[in-house]
Each structure stands twice: as C-alpha cells, then as structure tokens.
Amino acid sequence: MRFSIAAITSLFAAASLTQAVEFEACINSNGVNCSVRRCPVNECCNFQPDLKNNMASGRVRALVNCVIFYNSNCQGNYWILDHRDDGKFTNLPSWIKNNNAAVRCEDGM
C-alpha cells in the first residue's frame, strides 16, 4: 500500500512540474494572425519553423511571464511578455521583432 501512495505522489509531482503554459504568438503586430503555443513551465522551447524569426506580437494566457529570446536554446538578448499587461497583445520592439527563436515561460515572477 505504501508503494502505491508513493508512486501516485511522484506521478502528481512530475505532472505538476511539466505543466505547459499557453501563450499567443502572432506573426503580425497588434495581435494579428496568431496561434496558441504551449511550452512546459521553466523550460526552453525553440520555435518551430513557422514561427522562428516571424513573431511580431503576442500575449501571455496565464499568470506567468514568457521570455522571448533572440537565439535558439534561450540564448542572447530577450524581451519579456508580461502577464500584467491585462491580456492585451504586446508588440515586440524592433530589435527582436521578426528576429526571435525561442521562449521560456517562467512561474513565480
């Protein structure tokens, strides 16, 4: 019985660590032409070819911040999509607009 409870507890712990965060990534400014993307919390997700170097705006769909990186593997300069923007789309600044390759959504910010 003890083994079963321990196994179930570890499964729940693993599930909570791998929860995905949803954010909207748009290939045009002002929230135009968007798709929902998912990335596990606190993990780096490289953009798929359809989005890599194409993201121009976005918004976070949870109480986390998503960090958009200039380079793959969450390297280089970055811009933060802030959940405190009240659900509004945020245009990326010109230096990273359409020059981005990865995202990491972080909890506890």
pLDDT in tens, 51-105: 999 999 999 877 888 999 999 999 999 999 888 776 789 999 999 999 999 999 9
Q: How confident is the model at residue 10 (pLDDT cuts 50, 70, 90)?
A: very low
pLDDT in tens, 18-58: 588 889 999 999 999 999 999 999 999 999 999 999 999 99
Give exposure, 58-75, as e/b (b: 16+ Cβ within 10 Å): bbbbeebbbbbbbeeebe
What is the domain class of 20-106 according to CATH? mainly beta
Segments making up each domain of the chain, as ranges: 20-106
What does the alpha-carbon distance between residue 9 and residue 3 come to, in Å, rounded to a whole number? Answer: 10
pTM: 0.77
